C-alpha cells in the first residue's frame, strides 16, 4: 500500500501549498446555458491560453470538472438555487460533496477552492423564494466538506447580487443590508466569517444604466470623466468602487469589517440593448482590468481585487426575462471567437486568444425565399415560432442587427432556428417560405451565424471510466 500512501501524501502537501498561497489574477464565469456548448477540453485550453487562473461555474457538471483536472486553474463549483431545498438535508449534502467534490479532488486532480451555494438567491425579483433555504444548505455543505476532510482547501460562499445592500445617504458610508433581508444576510455573513469563507458579490453598472435612463453614463466607466462623488473626503469617480465600498461599509457597520470579498460577477454585454455593444463592453472591461491591475483596490479596501469577469462565452439559451442582453455577456462569442480587443494582462500578446479546433456545421444558411411575399399570412406566425425557439435577441432597436429590413429580419429568425436545429432540412420549411442558401446573408454589422457541431458530453465514457478505475484499484489492492 506504499503507492497509495505516497499519492495521498502528495495530495495533502499540494492542498496545503495551495491554501497557503491563494491564486491571484483574473477569473472568468463559465456558463453553459447554450444550445451548442463548446467541448469542455476546448474551453479549458482557451482559459489557459488566455491566462485565466480562476473559473466560476454555475453547477458541478462532471465533464466540465474533469476537463479542468490538472489544469492548475482554481475552480468555484456552483449549486443552483433549485437544489437548496434538497440540501437542507445533511445526508443529501454529504452525498453531493462526495459525488461532486471528493471524486474530482481525489480522482481528477481538480483544484476546487470554493463551493458557491446558490446563485443570487436573495435577488429582489425572487420575492423571498430562497430566503429560508439558503442558510441551511450552506451549513450542511460546509459540514459535509469538513466531514470529508476538505474543510481547509474548499470554502463555501453565497454569490449575492448587489441589491442586498443600499445606502440611505446615497454615499458608500451610508451602506447597510436591506432591512427586509437584514437578518438573513447577517446570518450568512457571520457563518462565512466563522468558517474563514469569503463574501461573494455581483456588481453590474450596466444594469443600473439599463433600469435607470437618468443614470450618469460616465460613472459606469473607469475613465475619470464622471462628476466625482465626495464621501466625507473620500472621492469616488466610478460606480464599481462606490458600490463595492457600500458593501464594505455594510459589513463594517455590522461588525464584519475584515471579511474577505470576492467580486463574483462583473462585466458588460455586447448586444440586445442600445447600451449593449462591442464598444462599450470593451471600454468597460478594459477599464476594469486596468483599474484593478495595479493592486490598488478601492478606497475602503486597498489591495488586490479578487474578481471573475462575466462572462467567458455567450449563452444563447439563457432566460431573457431580465432583458435581451442576457445572452450576450461573453468576451467570446458562442464559438470561442474573441468579440473585441481586451488585454487581461495575463499573456505576452496582450490580446484574447481564440478557441482552437472548433468544428462548425456546413457553410449554409436558411433565409426567406426571394419570391416570398411579405404579406403572406404565414410570415408572422413563422417568425414568432422561430424566435420563440431560437435566438432573435440581436434584432431590435439599436442592436447589432437592428438595421436589417423586413426581409432581413425574417431571414435572421429563420436562420437562427435552422442553425440551432443543426441545419436539418425540415428546420428551414416554414410553410414553404424558407430556402437554404450557400451565399452568406450577413451584413457588415449583422452576422448570420453558422452553428458549431453539437457536443453530447461523455456520460457513457464517464461511467465506463469510473467502472474501469474501480476495477483497477481493486486489482492493485489485491496485488499490493
Which residue of the set 94, 120, 326, 449 is catalytic? 120
Inter-CA distances, 353 with 68, 287, 466, Å: 18, 19, 34
Q: Which helix (H) or strand (E) holds 2?
A: helix 2-20
Catalytic site residue 120? yes
E-strand stretches of 297-412: 297-298, 301-302, 306-309, 365-368
Answer whether 366's CB lies under 8 Å from 424's CB. no
3-state secondary structure of 13: helix
Pick from 56, 113, 71: nearest CA to 309: 56
Strand partners, 36: none
Residue 315 annotated as catalytic: no
Of 422, 413, 360, the residue nearest 384 (C-alpha):
413
Distance (Å, rounded) from C-alpha 37 to C-alpha 67? Answer: 14
Contact 450, 365 (CB under 8 A): yes
- Beta strand spans in 72-138 (E): 74-79, 111-117
Give the active site residue among 265, 315, 326, 449: 265
Question: Cell digits for 58?
Answer: 454555475
Residue 311, preceding peptide bond in cis (omega within 30° of 0): yes
Q: Judging by beta carbons within 10 Å of its beta carbon (0-12, 13-18, 19+), is residue 357 exposed, middle or buried?
A: exposed
- The number of CA neighbours under 13 Å toward the Cβ of 22 is 17
Which residues are known catalytic residues? 120, 265
Amino acid at each position: 500500500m506504499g503507492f497509495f500512501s505516497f499519492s495521498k501524501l502528495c495530495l495533502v502537501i499540494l492542498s496545503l501549498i495551495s491554501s497557503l498561497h491563494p491564486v491571484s489574477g483574473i477569473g472568468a464565469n463559465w456558463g453553459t446555458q447554450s444550445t451548442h456548448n463548446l467541448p469542455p477540453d476546448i474551453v479549458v485550453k482557451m482559459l489557459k491560453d488566455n491566462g485565466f487562473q480562476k473559473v466560476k461555474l454555475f453547477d458541478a457538471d462532471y465533464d466540465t470538472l474533469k476537463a479542468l483536472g490538472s489544469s492548475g486553474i482554481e475552480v468555484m463549483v456552483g449549486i443552483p438555487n433549485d437544489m437548496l431545498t434538497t440540501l437542507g438535508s445533511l445526508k443529501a449534502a454529504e452525498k453531493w460533496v462526495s459525488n461532486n467534490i471528493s471524486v474530482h479532488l481525489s480522482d481528477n486532480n481538480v483544484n476546487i477552492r470554493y463551493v458557491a451555494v446558490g446563485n443570487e438567491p436573495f435577488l429582489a425579483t425572487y420575492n423571498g423564494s430562497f430566503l429560508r433555504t439558503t442558510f441551511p444548505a450552506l451549513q450542511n455543505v460546509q459540514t459535509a466538506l469538513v466531514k470529508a476532510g476538505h474543510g481547509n482547501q474548499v470554502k463555501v460562499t453565497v454569490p449575492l447580487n448587489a441589491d442586498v445592500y443600499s445606502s440611505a445617504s446615497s454615499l458608500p458610508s451610508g451602506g447597510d443590508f436591506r432591512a427586509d433581508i437584514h437578518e438573513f444576510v447577517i446570518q450568512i455573513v457571520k457563518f462565512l466569517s466563522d468558517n474563514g469563507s469569503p463574501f461573494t458579490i455581483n456588481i453590474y453598472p450596466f444594469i443600473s444604466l439599463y433600469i435607470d435612463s437618468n443614470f450618469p453614463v460616465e460613472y459606469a466607466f473607469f475613465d475619470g470623466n464622471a462628476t466625482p462623488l465626495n464621501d466625507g473626503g473620500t472621492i469616488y469617480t466610478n460606480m464599481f468602487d462606490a458600490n463595492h465600498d457600500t458593501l464594505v461599509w455594510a459589513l463594517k457597520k455590522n461588525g464584519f469589517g475584515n471579511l474577505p470579498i470576492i467580486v463574483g460577477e462583473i462585466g458588460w454585454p455586447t448586444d440586445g440593448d442600445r447600451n449593449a455593444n462591442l464598444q462599450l463592453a470593451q471600454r468597460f472591461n478594459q477599464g476594469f482590468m486596468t483599474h484593478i491591475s495595479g493592486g490598488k483596490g478601492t478606497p475602503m479596501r486597498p489591495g488586490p481585487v479578487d474578481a471573475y469577469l462575466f462572462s467567458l462565452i455567450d449563452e444563447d439559451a439563457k432566460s431573457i426575462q431580465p432583458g435581451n442582453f442576457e445572452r450576450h455577456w461573453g468576451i467570446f462569442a458562442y464559438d470561442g471567437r474573441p468579440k473585441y480587443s481586451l488585454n487581461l494582462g495575463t499573456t505576452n500578446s496582450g490580446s484574447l486568444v481564440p478557441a482552437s479546433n472548433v468544428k462548425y456545421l456546413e457553410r449554409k444558411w436558411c433565409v426567406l425565399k426571394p419570391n416570398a411575399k411579405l404579406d403572406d399570412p404565414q410570415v408572422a406566425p413563422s417568425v414568432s415560432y422561430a424566435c420563440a425557439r431560437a435566438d432573435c435577441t440581436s434584432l431590435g432597436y439599436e442592436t447589432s442587427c437592428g438595421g436589417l429590413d423586413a426581409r432581413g429580419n425574417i431571414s435572421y429568425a429563420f436562420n437562427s432556428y435552422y442553425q440551432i436545429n443543426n441545419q436539418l432540412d425540415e428546420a428551414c420549411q416554414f410553410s414553404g417560405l424558407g430556402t437554404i442558401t450557400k451565399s452568406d446573408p450577413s451584413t457588415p454589422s449583422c452576422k448570420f451565424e453558422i452553428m458549431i457541431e453539437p457536443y453530447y458530453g461523455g456520460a457513457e465514457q464517464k461511467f465506463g471510466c469510473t467502472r474501469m478505475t474501480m476495477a483497477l484499484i481493486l486489482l492493485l489492492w489485491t496485488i499490493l
